[in-house]
Structure 1
Amino acid sequence: MKTVAAVDLGATSGRVILGSVGHGEVTLRTVARFPNTPVRLPDGLHWDVLSLYSAAMHGLGTASREEPELVGAAVDAWAVDYALLLGDRMIGNPYHYRDARTERGVAAVHAAIGPDELYRRNGLQHLPFNTLFQLAASASSGALDAADGFLLIPDLIGYWATGQRVAERTNASTTGLIRAGENEWDAELLSRLGLRYDLLPPIVEPGTQLGPVSPVMREEFGIRHVFPFTTVGSHDTASAVVGVPSTGDDAAYISCGTWSLVGTELPSPVLTEEARLARFTNEGGVDGRIRFLKNVMGLWLLSESIRSWAKVGEQEDLEHLLKQAADAPADVPVFDANDPRLLPPGDMPTRIETLFTEQGVRPPATMGEFVRSVLQSLANAYADAIRDIERLTGRPIRTVHLVGGGARNELLCRLTADACGLPVVAGPVEATAVGNLLVQARTHGLITGDLEALRSVVASSFPLRTSAPRTSTDAKD
C-alpha cells in the first residue's frame, strides 16, 4: 500500500489526513487538525489564510516524517473565495463569503445581465456571495486595479507550496465565470461585467500534477523529502461527491457540514427556468460530471446557535444537545431552513425565534426542542430538494447518501429518512478527504478505473449505516 496526503480545509477547521491505498481499500489517519477562525477587521470579515497555510504545511511536515515514502499531496477547500495577487505578494487577506460587501456586487452584476440570462450561461444558483458578485464588489472599490493575479483558496495554497498558478476546474465552475458544462473562462461575460480576463489563471483538470513542494517550503515546514502536489476535485463538495458510495443513477447525496449540499450527478447541466426558480446549481465534478445540487443552510444553524449561547454564558456540548433533541417531542414547530436571514453570523437562536413569531407559532421551550426543530427543519429542506431533483431531471431517486460530519448525527439521518420516505445511507464521515485521496491515488497510478470504481473502494472501506423511513405512526414515537 502507498500513502498520499489530503489537506482538507473546511469553513470551521482544517485537517491533514493520510490515506493508504491498495488491495481495493483505503485507510485513513489524521496527522493534524487546526481551527479556521475568521477575523473581523474595520473593513469587513476576512479569512486568516496565512495561519491556515502555515498549519497545513506544518501538517504535511508531520506527514512526511510519519510516511517517509509519501507519494503526494493535494488540497481541497470551500468555494467562491479568493485572493488577489501582485507578483508574489497577496494583496490583503481574502474576504469571507459571509461579508456584507457582496450586496453591492449583486446590484452591479444584475445591472449588466439579468438573473435569468446569467443562469442560462453559468447554471449557478443565485447566492449573493458567488465569486462574480464578490469580484464586482472588488472592482467597484478599485481593488482589482492593483492586482495582476487571482487564485481561489485551494489554488492559492498550491501556488505558495509549488509556485504554480492554476484554477482547478471543479472549483472554477463555482465562480459563475464559466459557461455551465465548459472548461474555459467566459470572456464575453467578463467583458460585459467589466472584469479583467488577464487576472485569471489557466483552468486545469482534477488529477493535474503541479510540481514538487519548493525547497524553500520544504525547509521552512520540516518536509523531509520531495513529493508533488496535484489537483483533485479542489472544491470540497466535488471531492465529497467522489467519496459517495453510490452504485447507480437513482441516488441523491447530501454532503452535510457547515453547509448541506443536496444533489445528484448528471452527464450534462440542467439550465431550465424551472431549475433556476428552484434555486439549483450546476457545478463541475470530477471526470466531467455535473453536480446538480441545491445549497441548504446546513449545520451552521447549530454551530452558530451554540456559539451564541456561549457568548451569554450558556456553554452547551453538542453531544448532550443531540441527546436532549432525541428525547424531545416529535411534533416540534419547524421553520424555513433556507431563509436568507440565517446566512450571516450572529444571534441565531433569536433569528429563528423571529421566524416562529412571524408564523404565529410558539418557539420551542427548551434547548433540546430547539435543536430537534433545527434538525427537523433541515430534514424537511432536504426532502423538498430531493423531490425537486426528481421533478427537474425526470429521474426517480430511490436512495439518499448522507456523507460528511452530519453522517454522525443519527437523529438527523432518521428524520431525513422519514421526511424523504427513502432509505438514508450514512457515511463515510470523511467523504471529502476520501475523494481527495482517491483521485490523487488514481493520478499516481495506485488505483485505476472510473468514478464507479473509486466508489466501490469507498463502499468496501468504511462502515455504512442505513436508516429506513418509518411510517407516520412510527415517526410519532
Structure 2
Amino acid sequence: MKAKAFAAVDLGASSGRVMVGLVEPGRLALSEAHRFGNEPVRAGGTLHWDILRLYRGALEGLRKAGPVDSIGIDSWAVDYGFLDASGALLGNPVHYRDARTEGISVPVPDERLYAITGLQKLPFNTIYQLVAARATPQYDVAAQMLLIPDLLAYWLTGELGAEYTNASTTELVDVRTRNWSLSLIAELGLRPSLFPEIRQPGSVTGYFGGTPVVAVGSHDTASAVVGVPAAGERFAYISCGTWSLVGLELPQPVLTAASREANFTNEGGVDGTIRYLRNVMGLWPLQEAMREWEISDIAGLLRAAGGEPALKHLVDLDDPVFLPPGDMVGRLTRAAGLPDDATPAVVTRCILDSLALAQRSAIEQAQELAGRAVDAVHIVGGGARNELLCQLTADACGLPVLAGPVEATALGNVLVQARAAGVIGGELAALRAVLRETQQIVRYEPGGDPAAWRAAAQRITT
C-alpha cells in the first residue's frame, strides 16, 4: 500500500504547528511543516487568544504541507468563541488564565455536578466561563459556541460541530450518555441552541478545498493519550508540558465521592475510553521563571539543577497561587522559604522535585480510586525531553518511566486520521503497536532513597 500523508494542526498554549505524518503498514514518519507563535493579548483588561493569528498560522502550515489525504485539528481545552447568526466570530476568545471566572459559582451542588459530568472542579472550566459570559453583550446575540479546534474546523469547512473528547472537558457533557446534558444546561440558564451536535473521533466533519477534515481527539490530551506507546492496560500516563495531565485510561468513569473529593476528572477519550486524570501544574512555573530570568538554555539549567541537593526545598504546585502569569520566581521563593537571591538552579530543582512529588501523588491516588494497579509510567509530550524530571518521576513513583514520544499529540492525531483512511486497522492497542515499532522511547529505572521520597510526600501533604 502506498504511504498516505496526514496533516495534524496542533495548537499548544505557547505555540502552534502543522505536522505531516506519512503512514503505511510498518512505517510512521512525522515532520514539521510549519511552526508559529501563540502569544495571548491583553486588551481592555481581558486576556484573549489571538485566534486569527492562529488560523493564519494553520493556513500557512497547510500550504507548506502540500497535498495531504486528510487534516485533523487538536488544541487545549475549555476555551471557545461565540458566533452570531451569520456565522461571524463575536470577539477574540478569552484565555482560560483570565481572571473573569474568579468567584464565579453555579447553582448546582458539587456532588450533583460530578455525578452528571464526572469533571474535576477547575475555575476555568467552560461551565464557569459561560456563566460569567452571560452578563456580556456577546452572549445576548450569540447563536453558537465553538471550542477552539471546532472553530478552526468551521473556518476551514463551513460545518458546525463539537468533537466529543474536547466537549467532555466543558463540564456540560453527561459522562454516561456522551452528549450535552440539556437538563444541566437549562438549569444553568444557558441556551441549549448554543451547543452544536457532538461528533466522534474518526468522523469526517467537512472538506477544505476537497481534502477531508477529520475529527480526531481534538483535545490535545486525548490525542496525546492515543500517542502513548503502552503495551497492555497496566500503565499510567503523564502528558507533560505546560500542564501535567496525570492518570489512567479506563473503560468506565469513576464517580465515587472519594474520586470527587480527590478532584479527579473523567474526560472522554478516543474509542469510548475514559481519561481518568488530574491536572497538575506541570512545567508552567519553570517556563514562567525562565522567561523572568531571560534564560533560554534549558539543558544548562537542568544540569545545574541536577547538582543541587534533592528534596531540600518543596512547594505545593497545586496551589492556585501559581496559576497566573507574572512574578513566578517571587511566588516560588516565598512559598519554598528561599532567599530572594536564590539561584535559578536552586529554584529549578525546587520546581522539579515538587512536580515529581505531585505526579507521584496523582498516580498513587488514581490507582487507589480506580482499583487498578500499574507497572509503568509513560511520560509523553515536551516533558519527555526533560531527563532530570523523568528520572525524578521514576524515583518518586518507584516505577520505571518510559519517556516518549515527544510528539505524542501530533502522532495520536495522525493515527486517528490514518485509521479513518483505512491505512491502519484495529483498536487503540493496534495504533500503539505502531508507535512502539517506529518511535524512540527512553526507559528510566527508579533509584534514589524511597524513604526520602515518602517523607517528602508527607511534608507536602502536611
Q: Same fold (TM over 0.5)?
A: yes
Displacement after TM superposition at 1:25 (Å): 2.6
Give the equivalent residue in structure 1 for 2:127: 132
* Paired letter, 2:217: G
Q: Would you say the 8 A contact 1:332–1:369 is kept in 2?
A: no
Match of 1:247 among 231, 237, 242: 231
Q: Would you say the 8 A contact 1:25–1:458 is kept in 2?
A: no
The answer as to 2:290 corresponding to 1:306 is yes
Q: Distance between the aligned counterparts of 1:275 and 1:475, measured in 2?
A: 27
SS at match of 1:466: strand
TM-score by length of 1: 0.92
Q: Would you say the 8 A contact 1:356–1:362 is kept in 2?
A: no
Question: 1:430-454: CA deviations, max 9, x gaps?
Answer: 0000000000000111111100000
Matches within 5 A, 1:192-341: 192-214=187-209, 226-310=210-294, 315-341=295-321
Q: Which sections of structure 2, spanning at least 5 residues, go unmatched?
A: 454-462
Give the equivalent residue in structure 1 for 2:423: 446
What percent of counterpart residues are identical?
Answer: 52
* Paired letter, 1:37: E
Give the equivalent residue in structure 2 for 1:405: 382
Q: Distance between the aligned counterparts of 1:473 and 1:138, measured in 2?
A: 48
Give the equivalent residue in structure 1 for 2:7: 5
Give the equivalent residue in structure 2 for 1:99: 98
Q: Distance between the aligned counterparts of 1:185 and 1:88, measured in 2?
A: 21
SS at match of 1:411: helix
Displacement after TM superposition at 1:24 (Å): 2.2
Give the equivalent residue in structure 2 for 1:53: 55
Question: 1:378-397: CA deviations, max 9, x gaps?
Answer: 00000000110111011111
Q: Distance between the aligned counterparts of 1:239 and 1:162, measured in 2?
A: 21
Q: Would you say the 8 A contact 1:181–1:290 is kept in 2?
A: no
Match of 2:152 among 151, 157, 161: 157
| 1:334–1:194 Cα change, 3 Å | same
Give the equivalent residue in structure 2 for 1:388: 365
Q: Would you say the 8 A contact 1:164–1:210 is kept in 2?
A: yes
Q: Distance between the aligned counterparts of 1:421 and 1:131, measured in 2?
A: 36
Give the equivalent residue in structure 1 for 2:449: 472
Displacement after TM superposition at 1:17 (Å): 0.4
The answer as to 2:16 corresponding to 1:14 is yes
Displacement after TM superposition at 1:471 (Å): 4.0
Give the equivalent residue in structure 1 for 2:402: 425
Displacement after TM superposition at 1:330 (Å): 2.1
* Paired letter, 2:329: P
SS at match of 1:140: coil
The answer as to 2:392 corresponding to 1:415 is yes
Q: Distance between the aligned counterparts of 2:342 and 2:326, measured in 1?
A: 21
Q: Distance between the aligned counterparts of 2:285 and 2:259, measured in 1?
A: 25
* Paired letter, 2:204: Q
Q: Distance between the aligned counterparts of 1:252 and 1:181, measured in 2?
A: 23
Q: Distance between the aligned counterparts of 2:178 and 2:328, measured in 1?
A: 39
The answer as to 2:81 corresponding to 1:79 is no
Match of 1:342 among 312, 322, 329: 322
Q: Distance between the aligned counterparts of 2:450 and 2:97, measured in 1?
A: 41
Displacement after TM superposition at 1:2 (Å): 1.1
Q: Distance between the aligned counterparts of 1:182 and 1:249, measured in 2?
A: 24
SS at match of 1:341: helix
Deviates more, 1:465-474 or 1:156-165: 465-474
Give the equivalent residue in structure 1 for 2:89: 90
Q: Distance between the aligned counterparts of 1:448 and 1:345, measured in 2?
A: 44
Q: Distance between the aligned counterparts of 2:182 and 2:241, measured in 1?
A: 34
Displacement after TM superposition at 1:142 (Å): 4.2
* Paired letter, 1:383: R
SS at match of 2:393: helix
Displacement after TM superposition at 1:328 (Å): 1.9
SS at match of 1:378: helix
Q: Would you say the 8 A contact 1:364–1:373 is kept in 2?
A: no
Question: 1:255-286: CA deviations, max 9, x gaps?
Answer: 00111000110111001111111110000000
Q: Distance between the aligned counterparts of 2:12 and 2:177, measured in 1?
A: 26
Give the equivalent residue in structure 1 for 2:180: 185
Give the equivalent residue in structure 2 for 1:220: none
SS at match of 2:17: strand
Q: Would you say the 8 A contact 1:364–1:370 is kept in 2?
A: no
Displacement after TM superposition at 1:62 (Å): 0.7
Question: 1:45-78: CA deviations, max 9, x gaps?
Answer: 00000000001111001111xxx4x101110000
SS at match of 2:179: coil
Q: Distance between the aligned counterparts of 2:96 and 2:426, measured in 1?
A: 36
Q: Would you say the 8 A contact 1:333–1:364 is kept in 2?
A: no
Q: Distance between the aligned counterparts of 1:284 and 1:207, measured in 2?
A: 14
Q: Would you say the 8 A contact 1:296–1:338 is kept in 2?
A: yes
* Paired letter, 1:148: A
| 1:473–1:113 Cα change, 3 Å | closer
Question: 1:133-190: CA deviations, max 9, x gaps?
Answer: 0000001334311111110000000000000110000000000111113221111101
Deviates more, 1:154-163 or 1:115-124: 115-124
Displacement after TM superposition at 1:210 (Å): 1.6
The answer as to 2:345 corresponding to 1:376 is no
SS at match of 2:28: strand
TM-score by length of 2: 0.95
Q: Distance between the aligned counterparts of 1:207 and 1:333, measured in 2?
A: 46
Q: Give the number of equivalent residue pairs.
A: 450
Displacement after TM superposition at 1:474 (Å): 12
Displacement after TM superposition at 1:316 (Å): 4.5
Q: Would you say the 8 A contact 2:398–2:450 is kept in 1?
A: no
* Paired letter, 2:156: A
Displacement after TM superposition at 1:364 (Å): 8.3
Give the equivalent residue in structure 1 for 2:459: none
